Amino acid sequence: MKKAVVLLSGGLDSAVTLYTAKKQGYDCRCLSFDYGQRHRRELRAAKSIACFAGCALQAVKISLPWKGSALLDSKIKVPESRLTGYAAAKKIPSTYVPARNIIFLSFALSYAEATGAEAIFIGAHCQDYSGYPDCRPDFFRAFRKMALRGTKAGVEKKKIEIKAPLLNKSKVQIIKSGRQLGVPFALTWSCYRGGIKPCGACDSCFYRARGFAQAGIKDPAEKVM
């Protein structure tokens, strides 16, 4: 069976991505990161999702002591949804973690090459999102080229595919797809702030709630949060 490394944060998008990879026939190994984020709630979610899906999970602890993000520095306030004006001003919000997807994909590429995996899956998408530069199509096109030139696998023509199956999907489409795939939404965590219950105000909560509402589906995570 073909193998894949799936970046699994514990959030809705990464969970749908994992189930998409499984649907495509991949033997999935999940990869999550403890990178000094505000809370560990999403890490517990990633572990639960991987277990539910019957997939191995490799958790990696790294340090980003220079911070530079509201997700890493408790002194920086987490902005509240679109009311902050980021969308209108086309600004990248303070929840952007400098070069995060470059870092995560680099680890995933090393893991994939070392284990003979043919693909890496990441749950990034560029619609209805915060405008992060590492969630855009041109970034993934550039990373794919780099992977071909900077790895033994690439040089030897053993291409490791970088797949972002949700990239051009809306949150509504992602949720509907997840329901069809049987994704355990109740196990996922989206809120930037952590805590016992989602804050309901941050970007991630805002888009999740709007997506479920527009899809006409009740968020099953509300029953357990």
Helix or strand or coil: residue 165? coil
Token representation of residue 2: 């073909």
pTM over 0.75: yes
The residue type found at 67 is K
Q: Please report the pLDDT score of residue 173 as a whole number.
A: 96
- For residues 166 and 28, give the distance between their C-alpha atoms in angstroms, rounded to a whole number: 17
The neighbouring-strand residues paired with 195 are none
CATH-assigned architecture of domain 3-223: 3-Layer(aba) Sandwich (3.40)
Amino acid 120 reads I
Going residue by residue through the chain (225 aa), what tens digit of pLDDT does each one get? 999 999 999 999 999 999 999 999 999 999 999 999 988 899 999 999 999 999 999 999 999 999 999 999 989 988 876 544 444 446 788 889 999 999 999 999 999 999 999 999 999 988 655 678 999 999 999 999 999 999 999 999 999 999 999 999 999 999 999 999 999 999 999 999 888 889 888 888 988 999 999 999 999 887 544
Chain Cα centroid distance, residue 43: 12
Q: How far apart are CA 33 and CA 43, in angstroms?
A: 8
What per-residue string of b and e applies to 166-203 under the rule 16 or more CB within 10 Å gives b? bbebbbbbbbbbbeeeebbbebbbbbbbeeeebbebbb
Among positive and negative, which fits the CA dihedral 33, 34, 37, 39? positive
Alpha-carbon span 222 to 225, nearest angstrom: 5
Ordered by start, the domain boundaries in the chain are 3-223
pLDDT of residue 187: 96
pLDDT of residue 127: 67
Distance between CA atoms of 125 and 168, rounded to whole angstroms? 6
Residue 157, H or E segment: none
Closest CA to 207 of 161, 173, 177: 173
pLDDT at 89: 47
Q: Which residues contact 198 (CB under 8 A, 6 or more apart)?
A: 189, 190, 191, 205, 208, 221, 225
In what order do the strands lie in the sheet containing 161-163? 56-61, 27-34, 3-7, 119-121, 161-163
Name the amino acid, one letter, at 185: F
Give the Cα separation of 79 and 206 in Å (integer). Answer: 11
What is the CA 196 to chain-centroid distance, rounded? 21
What confidence score (pLDDT) does residue 43 get? 95
